[in-house]
Structure 1
């Protein structure tokens, strides 16, 4: 699924190359419409979203439309940077020695109490990264967030929960330089 989301996202960018494949009809205007969506429900009303949904169904990949809308509504704000992990990048220090996202904001992202606020904060987080993130991995993570938010599974080992994985990635990156600084 990640590969298909990446293809979809790349098709939303203008290109001199002739587009082909299932998303050849997508245009810059489609991305602009997605970027103006304020909620996942707004994303559900966009034709570009339905093109992706149809392609996933054609591939027999089961995904709920409302969960996919949350994921791709955030992904529309990103530029695909292969291998650039979301939470790890949020913890990465910039030239001034600060993490891309402060620890307070990261905790707020992790503890959102509803999908609308999570959607807004995730979009802001992508913006803090200059939009550069692995779009496929981000979409998969956001789908997992939606599933875990809606139906928490106490039987799921903590190491497989998204919040713990994101926290581990964020703090490993943000504390990396702190361990190397002189006392």
Structure 2
């Protein structure tokens, strides 16, 4: 809907405020020289909540710093993070209709496609606090599925190049048709 309404920037964040709005000005500032900006837990100055278990920290760090970048060769440190700023033209150029993933791999898929299409990706450091309400839905089944889906993302998009960017107007319906 933000695309159809003509927004220049689209900010994506968790609704439970695990992504703190105080970082939005930094995301916007970084967008001056980038097509997509990720609020990163894993670059210098970024962090996760001290209450995270060793296993949770290790799993997230490994997924973002070793597993995903090794397979997909993406130059980011937090591919699964959901705190992002997108330039409108970036999302239009990515053809959002092509995406099939959900959950954690959705973030990876978006990042990989943006990278393959040649969009400039930046990261800013954020602190990621533990959620105040609800509990994590990350269980063993989801972990295994996410690990396997990274390979599917590689297979599906490995032939994308910057010439595959969508350039025509992107039509999005914003309400009931008249």
With normalisation by structure 2, the TM-score equals 0.30
More strand by share: 2
| Bigger relative contact order, structure 1 or 2 (CA pairs below 8 A, ≥6 apart) | 2
**TM-score, structure 1 as length reference:** 0.29
